[in-house]
């Protein structure tokens, strides 16, 4: 990047990539300059499985961001996920160096350096080290040991671990793009940084980010990040279940988000007997699914996600310390009544949220309501703290799209007037003899008027839009008008089908 007044972030999801750029206002709030989202293939459960597809999608998003801002991105903060991301605690101690046994900053630093020197098992790399607590002389527990007295200082750190080969493939993808990752954060950390309030971090809360291919979990308590985990199941599992009943792929996502319910019993009564008809290319390709069956498919798969989330919360050891409950975010949290399902099954307080509005400036406040951007905005927030981003009064701005010149209309050629032949010069007329008188013609009888044929009320004439009418339209027979009003037998059948089926055309799904 060209200067230290803005940073870039790249969020790699299983179904999309998001590139964002941001700066910091003088009041410390984040100014999101621009966000670009592109669909992406080649990622599965947060891991690179096709580097060509991944680099193509990331290059497209980054190039668009560069063109819109007029910058060159050479480094960025990146978000990662994967089923190998785990947490592990480790403790270590040092002896206090001062003669009066006062704990100073140097003692804490030596303890941190000792934890940094720890080597992970083969094939594993350490993504982050987060101090959980300090214990003085094995008795007194504190979060701020500097200034206290004791002979021995012990600390417990939470290590965030990842698979080395997965990170190497990700690093290889960034190398091909010419981008240096300044730091890799887990998507769970990024989402929590964006959606949790200060009170929720203190009282205890679990952030559940439901993505396309995986679900990330991050737990905060007493203003410390306590636990990070990832489940290899996301909203795409629901799509696969819907696809198994022969619903075309192009309709599934909109069908799920527009007409789906997370709890089958919460469907409105009038919809429980209705169906959704999906119009295909031919009548044989038309598909149909009831609201109730669709909700049952969604609910069954979401129950798997809920049970796995609960199991991770229990394993974290903080199941009874979540005073603020669970915060749902990510694109999967947009399903109707998903908070109701989590509340009924987990018995926690549940809310759905995007980035906290107080973290963004007024120009970026509209992005706070989109849970699918939580991870990308969280990366900008974590990156701005990591690098000490300097506030600026004149941030980058998105370039206005250059107006396309309207094509000039071709001049309409003026119709050429036919030339009038020149009038002949008058010649002296020769004298003509007087004409003989003709006898007057005999008067002919007037033709009798022919009666017009009456219109047939049972005959309807097909009208094509390209046909030109050669005579004024005739008024329909009064009895035919009455039939159209009542609808007849077919009109009654149409009303019955309208009441039973909620017809959704191809362009509505």
Domain residue ranges of the chain, discontinuous segments joined by +: 86-161
Residue 490: predicted pLDDT: 47
Lowest mean pLDDT of 141-150, 268-277, 351-360, 412-421, name the range: 412-421
What average pLDDT does this structure show over 93-111?
90
What average pLDDT does this structure show over 402-429?
51
- CB-based burial label for 244 (10 Å; 0-12, 13-18, 19+): exposed
Residue 170: predicted pLDDT: 93
> What are the residue ranges of helices labelled H in 215-269?
236-243, 249-259
The 3-state DSSP class for residue 128 equals: strand
How far apart are alpha carbons 174 and 103 in whole angstroms?
43
Dihedral of CA 331/237/213/327: which sign? positive
Asked if residue 26 has pLDDT above 70, the reply is yes
Residue 460: predicted pLDDT: 40
pLDDT tens sequence across 198-209: 999 999 999 999
Asked if residue 503 has pLDDT above 50, the reply is no
- Backbone φ and ψ of 465, nearest 5°: -65, -20
Residue 60: predicted pLDDT: 96
Residue 24: predicted pLDDT: 93
Asked if residue 471 has pLDDT above 50, the reply is no
Q: What is the CA radius of gyration of the chain?
A: 37
Residue 419: predicted pLDDT: 53
Residue 278: predicted pLDDT: 87
Integer angstrom CA distances of residue 400 from 23, 70, 127: 19, 11, 39
Asked if residue 138 has pLDDT above 50, the reply is yes
What average pLDDT does this structure show over 258-273?
93
Integer angstrom CA distances of residue 278 from 236, 239, 292, 336, 493: 20, 16, 16, 20, 20
What average pLDDT does this structure show over 135-140?
91
Contact 221, 248 (CB under 8 A): no
In terms of DSSP bridges, do strands 75-80 and 180-186 run parallel, antiparallel, or are they unpaired? parallel
What average pLDDT does this structure show over 251-263?
93
CATH for 86-161? 3.30.1490.110
Contact 85, 161 (CB under 8 A): yes
What average pLDDT does this structure show over 319-329?
97
Residue 401: predicted pLDDT: 57
How far apart are alpha carbons 231 and 213 in whole angstroms?
9
- CB-based burial label for 125 (10 Å; 0-12, 13-18, 19+): middle
Predicted TM-score of the model (pTM): 0.77
Of residues 111 and 416, more confidently modeled: 111
Mean confidence (pLDDT) of the chain? 82
Token look-up 């979060």 returns 143
**Across the strands, what pairs with 352?**
328
């Amino acid at each position: 990047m060209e200067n230290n007044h803005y940073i870039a972030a790249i969020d790699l999801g299983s179904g999309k990539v998001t590139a964002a750029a941001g700066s910091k206002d003088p009041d410390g709030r984040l100014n999101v300059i621009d966000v670009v989202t592109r669909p992406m293939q080649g990622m599965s459960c947060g891991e690179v499985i096709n580097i060509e597809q991944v680099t193509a999608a990331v290059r497209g998003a980054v190039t668009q961001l560069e063109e819109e801002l007029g910058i060159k991105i050479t480094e960025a903060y990146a978000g990662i996920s994967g089923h190998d991301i785990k947490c592990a605690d480790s403790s270590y101690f040092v002896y206090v160096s001062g003669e009066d046994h006062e704990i100073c900053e140097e003692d804490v630093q030596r303890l941190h350096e000792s934890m940094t020197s720890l080597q992970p098992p083969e094939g594993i790399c350490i993504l982050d080290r987060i101090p959980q607590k300090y214990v003085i002389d094995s008795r007194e527990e504190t979060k701020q040991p500097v200034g206290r007295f004791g002979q021995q200082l012990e600390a417990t750190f939470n290590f965030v671990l990842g698979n080395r080969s997965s990170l190497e493939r990700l690093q290889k993808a960034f190398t091909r793009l010419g981008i240096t990752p300044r730091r890799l954060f887990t998507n769970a950390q990024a989402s929590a940084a964006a959606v949790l309030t200060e009170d929720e971090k203190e009282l205890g809360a679990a952030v559940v980010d439901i993505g396309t291919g995986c679900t990330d979990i991050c737990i905060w308590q007493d203003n410390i990040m306590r636990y990070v985990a990832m489940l290899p199941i996301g909203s795409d599992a629901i799509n696969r279940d819907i696809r198994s009943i022969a619903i075309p792929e192009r309709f599934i996502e909109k069908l799920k988000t527009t007409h789906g319910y997370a709890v089958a019993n919460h469907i409105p009564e009038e919809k429980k007997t209705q169906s959704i008809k999906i119009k295909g290319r031919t009548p044989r390709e038309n598909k149909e699914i009831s609201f109730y069956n669709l909700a049952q498919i969604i609910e069954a798969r979401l129950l798997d996600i809920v049970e796995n989330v609960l199991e991770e919360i229990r394993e974290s050891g903080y199941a009874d310390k979540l005073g603020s409950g669970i915060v749902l975010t990510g694109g999967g949290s947009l399903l109707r009544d998903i908070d109701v399902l989590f509340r009924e099954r987990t018995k926690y307080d549940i809310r759905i949220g995007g980035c906290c509005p107080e973290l963004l400036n007024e120009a970026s406040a509209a992005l706070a309501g989109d849970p699918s951007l939580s991870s990308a905005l969280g990366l900008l927030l974590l990156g701005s703290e990591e690098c000490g981003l300097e506030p600026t009064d004149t941030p980058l701005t998105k370039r206005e799209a250059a107006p396309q010149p309207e094509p000039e209309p071709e001049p309409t050629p003026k119709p050429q007037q036919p030339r009038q032949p020149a009038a002949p010069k008058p010649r002296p007329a020769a004298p003509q003899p007087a004409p003989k008188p003709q006898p007057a013609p005999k008067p002919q009888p007037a033709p009798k008027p022919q009666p017009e044929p009456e219109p047939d009320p049972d005959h309807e004439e097909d009208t094509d839009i390209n046909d030109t009418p050669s005579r004024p339209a005739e008024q329909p027979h009064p009895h035919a008008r009455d039939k159209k009003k009542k609808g007849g037998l077919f009109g009654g059948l149409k009303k019955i089908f309208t009441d039973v089926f909620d017809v959704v055309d191809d362009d509505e799904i």
